[in-house]
Structure 1
């Protein structure tokens, strides 16, 4: 195996453990609710605390990436995430669980940004699109965490035991994969500052780079808004497909789970092959038409009255959603000064996380006003917004096949 192949495998591994870390915890939510005797609303608050930790980390880790490099940042973040995975199983009060989830959120959020930054480095070294395949590993990691966690619950294993095992496995992978990643290439190289004149020159150079990158700040924020819209649209499937199938279509709770399976399965499988489309047509094509296909699939769900039609809609939506967010992330790494790659990507990922957090609340609020299937129609509107946003990208970059 070549050094570049090892680096690709290492990033696959980091995406897998990050996706698994989320679902190893999430699958225990009903258990925690009963153990601590807390309400649904309290669980919702705890999920917001987890997201708040992730958002906090995202605001900080971009600068770390630019200063020490994506390899070191990924290793440190992944190791921290592994250690924090021990904590939720040890919490015996809602307050302690909130602290544990905030810290775990920091680990997951930091790892998310850092490994995406290193994935960009690996893709550049490959000189062909491979970015969406990394995100497929996040999806499959989530499936692994949910499956193992579910089996552990079915066999009456304590949450602390399961999460401790997951934490040990996460730490082992994070530590062993460090040497397989590409060498660091910090964007803020430490200049040989032998004289005061050298120091002044370096400060002047950094000041110019900061000023230059500020000119693209609005564009970076717009990319973040597109990614957030795509995240909320994607969340309609992840968060509401099962409930829609049970309450609107009228299936049993067990049968309703099929909706989530087909949606996530379609999305994860498509991510394994979408890079070939990127290579042939470019990132903008995938973002635009992926968003349109996602909107079409969601529309089919909105108007469906039978299970087969609804499931078909979720499959179409999953296929469309698969490449949108990964390609916006990858595109954001190409915007602005190379010295600010980590910070620009962190802004986009941070806004995306805000969309992930806000999505369930927005849909939930809409269900107070309109039926659930109509509320899910928000995904159609947001898919169209993201697709139209690519026109702004194309105007700014005449070459729509930039990769």
Structure 2
């Protein structure tokens, strides 16, 4: 039985989960912003950097898969605390490996912990965010994802400043690791135990958590999980593809200078973040399905404009539409997965796993294909995936008894 929360407890809970999303974004940008310094300090080439990224990516997928087990056994509240300490330790170890022991293996070990912790926390913070949506009756997951974006922007800014001032990687990562651990403990103190997130202690005997794990696995046998997976696959693939290939597409495909390519990625990111900030009220007004359909058209149209535009200003417009279009696929897929409180954790975990695997594995696949047919031609794959995402959008319709994301057309 859920205990009622006061307004103040609810606000503290929501703020704590905003902070967790922000911390995850901070950690990712901390590592990404120091790659050039790490490469120089270790004297490695791009292939070795690629192998580092692969190690982090595989560890993230393992973390995603373990999240189900952690949720069933310990609940999201304790699980998030441990996962955040793990990825904070990973961030610190990356710095130690770079500057103190000058060891490629130690940096890879740090990246494995970083990937493991981030993968696990990604599922659990979305389960927690979905529980907050249920409590409030409003679509808030896009705003949580906007806080993740804020975290990456803040982390990148701090990283750029640290690089500009020649701050040692070990000092920079140690400070960020301490900040993440402080956020973890402050958040833990303000997240209430809820049944929806597997935190209540009512029946904590072993058969009980095994039963919950069985329920979690059952989500993989439901057709709706895969239909939501298609929505998230298309949008996450197109978002991950932009992060890794948009800037290069402008440089190689449209002859832009590298700085202009970086600006193109900034336009994409800002556009995506703005729609995530204001997307919740739009979804509550027009409904999940209608919003996803419009956004898939925007994403496909933006991508086509980006590929075919005859001038750089139009390429920027394409990048902005692409960012807006892919902004809500992931959070709304999570939101839809959480419609049934009894199975929310299991379904969010399954949907998140599909989304994150496509986010992590998609860009390298695009890189391989682009070697054969050219980068801009490869982006047509993302157009097709955005269209598929739009066609699958009816799967996100709120199930009977759920009001979040239904829209106000029924009033």
**TM-score, normalization by structure 2:** 0.88
Following the alignment from structure 2 to structure 1, what is the Cα–Cα distance between the partners of residues 19 and 212?
37
Gaps of 5+ in 2: 1-6, 406-411
Question: 1:101 is matched with which residue?
Answer: 111
- Alpha-carbon displacement from aligned partner over 1:270-328 (angstroms, at most 9, x marks no partner): 10000011111222223222222111111110111211000000101111111111110
1:173 to 175, 180, 183: 183
The structure-2 alpha-carbon separation of the partners of 1:245 and 1:275, relative to structure 1 and needing over 3 Å to count, comes to same
Against the structure 1 CA distance between its residues 392 and 270, is the aligned structure 2 distance closer, same or farther, given a 3 Å change threshold? closer
Written as runs of structure 1 = structure 2, the 5 A alignment for 1:69-218 is 69-91=75-97, 92-185=102-195, 187=198, 206=211, 210=215, 213=218, 216-218=221-223
CA distance in 1, matches of 2:202, 2:404: 31
Hey, what does 1:388 align to over in structure 2? 391
Verify the 8 A CA contact 1:62 1:345 in the aligned structure 2: no
Partners of 2:26 and 2:137 in 1: how far apart?
29
Q: How does 1:3-402 map to 2 (within 5 A)?
A: 3-91=9-97, 92-185=102-195, 187=198, 206=211, 210=215, 213=218, 216-334=221-339, 338-393=341-396
Does the residue aligned with 1:2 lie in a helix, a strand or coil?
helix
Q: Report the Cα distance in structure 2 between the residues aligned to 1:211 and 1:165, rounded to whole angstroms.
A: 37
User: What is the Cα deviation at residue 191 of structure 1?
Assistant: 5.8
Whole-Å separation in 2 of the counterparts to 1:279 and 1:13: 24
Q: Provide the C-alpha distance between the structure 2 equivalents of 1:73 and 1:212, rounded to a whole number of angstroms.
A: 18
Give the TM-score of the pair, scaled to structure 1: 0.90
- Assess if the C-alpha contact under 8 Å between 1:70 and 1:184 holds in 2: no
Cα distance in structure 2, aligned partners of 1:191 and 1:217: 28
- CA distance in 2: counterparts of 1:401 and 1:376, whole angstroms: 36
C-alpha offsets along residues 231-262 of structure 1, whole Å, 9 cap, x if unaligned?
A: 11112322122112222222221222110110
Contact 1:122-1:182 at 8 Å conserved across structures: no
- Misfit runs of 4+, over 6 Å: 398-401
Q: Which whole-Å deviations, capped at 9, do the CAs of 1:337-376 have from their partners, x for residues lacking one?
A: x454323222222222221222222221222222322211
Check conservation: 1:63, 1:342, Cα contact below 8 A: no
